[in-house]
Amino acid sequence: MSKILIVEDEEKIARFVELELRHEGNEVEKAFDGRTGLELALSGAFDLILLDVMLPGLNGLEVLRRLRNEKDTPVIMLTARDAVMDKVSGLDAGADDYITKPFAIEELLARIRVALKKHGGSSETAARTEQLTVRGVALDCDRHEVTVNGEPVELTNREFELLKTLMKNKNIVLDREKLMNEVCGYDYMGETNIIDVYVRYLRTKIDDKYGVKLITTVRGVGYSIKD
Ligand code: CA
């Protein structure tokens, strides 16, 4: 069970998310403005904070900045559609992830699980050597090595980063913009179809060669790697 704080002024959204999180067995507190949210975040022991960007009183980015001076509680930002600047600023200010409104509750819950897991793991030194494995494909983050059925596969840096991002977020569909941010950096100004190009390279090097179907295209959304 995790303790989660929702800071969101749209009470309908906050309530809906609260119900879903409680249904999954979490403890939930809510704040409807930035100042209250910050106070709760600083005084309480939360495992995760869902933080809307557009908030009365103190906006979400400011809440995050002030929170980060004192605590590293994982934060997932809720941003408006196409507010690229919010995402960039949020991640710069130390957000762990973001989700664009309107979102599917399943995706939010999946992202929360990932953020909680990541954070729980990072405190254990044993988790330093990060090894990701999906269906015969193994990726060693520290050594920067990928093997398929034990055979090493040569990847470029960006191919490696793309594969790592998809494997880290396995079973979650990631959109091209998110992948581009992870793979090319937040200041990259090129077209998001660059991701399609790297996916094609990965499919040539892994799927075609080893007869697996690793990366799934989700039409109109993006890509995912499923277990
Ligand atoms: Ca809002």
Residue 99 Cα to ligand 1 midpoint, Å, equals 13
Task: Provide the pLDDT confidence category of residue 54 given band limits of 50, 70 and 90.
Answer: very high
pLDDT at 144 over 90: no
| Domain parsing of the chain, residue ranges | 3-126, 131-225
Based on C-alpha coordinates, what's the Rg of the chain? Answer: 18
Check residue 91 and give its pLDDT: 79
DSSP-H helix ranges across the chain: 11-23, 34-43, 60-68, 84-92, 105-122, 157-168, 176-184, 194-202, 209-210
In the sheet that 215-218 helps form, which strands lie side by side, from edge to edge? 174-175, 222-225, 215-218
Task: Provide the pLDDT confidence category of residue 129 given band limits of 50, 70 and 90.
Answer: low
CB 175 within 8 A of CB 199: no
Mean pLDDT of 87-103: 84
CATH assignment of 3-126, among 3.40.50.2300, 3.30.420.40, 3.40.50.300, 3.40.50.20: 3.40.50.2300
Structure tokens at 101: 């409104």
Mean pLDDT of 53-70: 93
Residue 118 Cα to ligand 1 midpoint, Å, equals 27
Residue 220 Cα to ligand 1 midpoint, Å, equals 26
Give DSSP secondary structure letters for 79-111: EETT-HHHHHHHHHTT-SEEEEES--HHHHHHH
pLDDT at 8 over 80: yes
Check residue 224 and give its pLDDT: 96
Residue 7 Cα to ligand 1 midpoint, Å, equals 9
User: What sign has the CA pseudo-torsion 55, 61, 66, 71?
Assistant: positive
**How big is the chain, counted in residues?**
227
Higher pLDDT, 188 or 59: 59
Q: Can you give the pTM of this predicted structure?
A: 0.55
pLDDT at 58 over 60: yes
Check residue 81 and give its pLDDT: 65
Task: Provide the pLDDT confidence category of residue 14 given band limits of 50, 70 and 90.
Answer: very high
Residue 80 Cα to ligand 1 midpoint, Å, equals 8
CATH number of 131-225: 1.10.10.10
Residue 135 Cα to ligand 1 midpoint, Å, equals 40
Residue 53 Cα to ligand 1 midpoint, Å, equals 6
> If phi over 0 gives left and psi between -120 and 50 gives alpha, with beta otherwise, what is residue 4?
beta
Residue 200 Cα to ligand 1 midpoint, Å, equals 38
Mean pLDDT of 139-151: 88
Check residue 216 and give its pLDDT: 95
User: What sign has the CA pseudo-torsion 80, 82, 85, 90?
Assistant: positive
Mean pLDDT of 10-32: 94
- Rounded distance, CA 209 to CA 119, Å? 35
User: What sign has the CA pseudo-torsion 23, 60, 95, 120?
Assistant: negative
Of the candidate ranges 20-29, 56-65, 86-95, the one whose mean pLDDT is the lowest = 86-95
**Equal fold, 3-126 vs 131-225:** no
Task: Provide the pLDDT confidence category of residue 200 given band limits of 50, 70 and 90.
Answer: very high
The percentage of residues in the chain with a pLDDT greater than 70, rounded to a whole number, is: 93
